Amino acid sequence: MQGLNPQQQAAVRHYDTPLLVLAGAGSGKTRVIVEKIVHLIEDRDLPPRGIWAVTFTNKAAREMGERIGQRLPSERRRGLNISTFHTLGLNLIRRETRTLGLRPGFTVLDAEDSLNLIKSLLQLNEQAAGLLEPKEAQGRISQWKNDLATPQTAAEAAGDDPVEAACASLYADYSRQLAACNALDFDDLIKRPVELLRDDPEARERWQRRVRYLLVDEYQDTNASQYELVRLLVGPVGRLTAVGDDHQSIYAWRGARPENLQHLKRDFPRLETIKLEQNYRSVATVLDAANQLIAHDPTTQPKNLWSAVGAGESHRVLVCDTAEDEAERIATDILHRHFKDGSAYRYFAILFRGNHQARLIEQQLRKLSIPYVLTGGQSFFERAEVKDAMAYLRLLANPSDDAALLRIINTPRRGIGPTTLERLGEIARDRDMHLAAAARSVAAEQRIDPRVRHQLDQFLDWLEATRQRMASEPAVDAMRRLLEEIDYFGYLREQESSARAAERRWENLQDWLEWTERIAEDAETGKSLSLAELVQKMSLLGILEQKTRDQNDDAVRLLTLHAAKGLEFPHVYLTGMEEDLLPHQDCQEDDRLAEERRLCFVGITRAQRSLTFTLTRRRRRYGQWRDITPSRFLEEIEPQLLRWEGIGVKKSEEETRATAQEAMATIRAMLGSR
């Protein structure tokens, strides 16, 4: 435990009772979790297979695993379970498939497939379709699942509200359809294990014996079902370390419940709490501003971050005339500091409340040839060509996967039109069967045109032959042959306006095939995964992963405050520090205002060395110019920590031009000296 401060050491050694670690921003919480796992294995002699560590992202789980790999040899950590909540849920479901009433080879739907299923169900229910938007209905069903509400309880709670009643009815149809297709959605990966452990004493005891010690990161981000899963896994003994920071609870909009930190004391009376307040990331002035801001939040437990990194300077507040001026000022400031101070572009981050703020900033960065990465663009797994290939694999693994069938039945075109699919859907619903089975039924012979039925039979025969071939050759080789057989590249050429665009999409598929080959092996046993296991693993990774550029790329980072959590940068620009932007105009009530303040706190604590706030005097909204009021959060920071620039004087074009000219002069001098 060399190098740990006294509070960190206490958190690592604590064992006999449940523990809550309130870990302030930059306080080394990941190191504490890693050292505690090492302590449990080396000093407490717990078998690694009995230790489970859970976090929210694959990236965090990988980092944790890599750090433990640096501390323990492979034979000492074999069997250790480090995963996201949803991977934990998937592993539990795999072990309890029959207990849960599922068939082997079940499918995990991603958000798009779930939405498509909801859309198809709404087409069959005109009354519900008139009241519900598919995306909103999907969100409401997800919320019910996260709150562990069944279709029946949702219907009872709806009462006389027609919209809620229609959505509850849709929830029931959706659940029945998932069961018929032997499928789960993302929320089921938590909900179904919770229901099993809650209702089946034997399963609960079995899993409590398996989970000898549980460590949970980012506990403030847990929702109701995740909290209940933790409680059921650790049982009354409570061999648990929960690590979190209520000051960084910013995900209530997606179901997170920061009050879960308080509920721990209710459910585990012997709970002890340790605070980590020493920050290893930021200079003192950054932490002073953060402490002063968060002191105005009465909903969180008090912590006082401090640092030995250095004193730091006061924070600039750039007052600009318009959003265009704000973007120009930020871009020229970064260019100036890049060449004058030698700061790499990757040291700079521009944070904003909403993605719409990025457009003008991007324009100015491009204008000055400043490289940048905008986080939140299209994920690799969301590309149509990748989703098509995944749909083929899913259907080969699970013939009853209707969502996959609907996606690829005409990709490429096979002359099977919407009327045929609608009739197949009616047959499947009336006879409680999946679409492929409906296509082979006697009813299909009676209700579907013989020529189209011939096309269907050919397609299904080909799928079955491919499925049998996959039993004797690697899935990746079979997928390469499949893509050639359907001439998917020819399909891309038809779809795209240029040959180069089609080639790029084909290259994406080659990347996907290489990635598939890498993950097609079980990490623990070294054996090849079955097709069903491979598809389950790929589906989960596709849902959780966001393809980002290499963090070593020398580019300015543009990202929302929500996306910035967990990251750190030497220089941070926190933009749009204005009323109705931060805090957002829709978040003026007390509880939502508190989360907006925590969001600002997260933005401030991303900065290591310098922090710059920006705002405008006027901003165009809905086509109208509006005078702007500075954010109330700036008023909550003591004046001596802020250095206002441009206040009372409109920033001139000459001022901006002078900054840019100085930067360009520096560039020329550097080039001339080579």
Rounded mean pLDDT of 593-602?
91
Q: How confident is the model at residue 590 (pLDDT cuts 50, 70, 90)?
A: low
Please say whether the beta carbons of 435 and 405 come within 8 A.
yes
Note the pTM of the prediction, 2 decimals: 0.74
Residues tagged active-site = 29-30, 217-218, 248, 606
**pLDDT for the residue numbered 221:** 86
The DSSP output letter for 160 is: T
Rounded mean pLDDT of 122-126?
81
Q: How confident is the model at residue 374 (pLDDT cuts 50, 70, 90)?
A: confident
Q: Euclidean distance between the first and final Cα of the chain, in Å? A: 48
Tokens of 441: 């039924």
Q: Tokens 């959060």 belong to which residue?
A: 633
Q: How confident is the model at residue 594 (pLDDT cuts 50, 70, 90)?
A: confident
Cβ neighbours of residue 119 closer than 8 Å, sequence gap 6 or more: 134
Cβ neighbours of residue 311 closer than 8 Å, sequence gap 6 or more: 283, 284, 285
pLDDT in tens, 526-560: 677 888 888 888 777 665 443 334 444 788 999 99
**pLDDT for the residue numbered 7:** 94
**pLDDT for the residue numbered 552:** 44
Mean pLDDT score across all residues of the chain: 86
Q: DSSP labels for 87-147? A: HHHHHHHHHTTTTTTPPTT-EEE-HHHHHHHHHHHHHT-HHHHTT--HHHHHHHHHHHHHT
pLDDT above 70: residue 614:
yes
Q: How distant is the alpha carbon of residue 583 from its chain centre?
A: 23
**pLDDT for the residue numbered 292:** 95
The Cα angle at residue 285 between residues 279 and 291, in degrees rounded to 5: 65
Q: Are strands 19-23 and 240-244 parallel, antiparallel or unpaired?
A: parallel
pLDDT above 80: residue 351:
yes
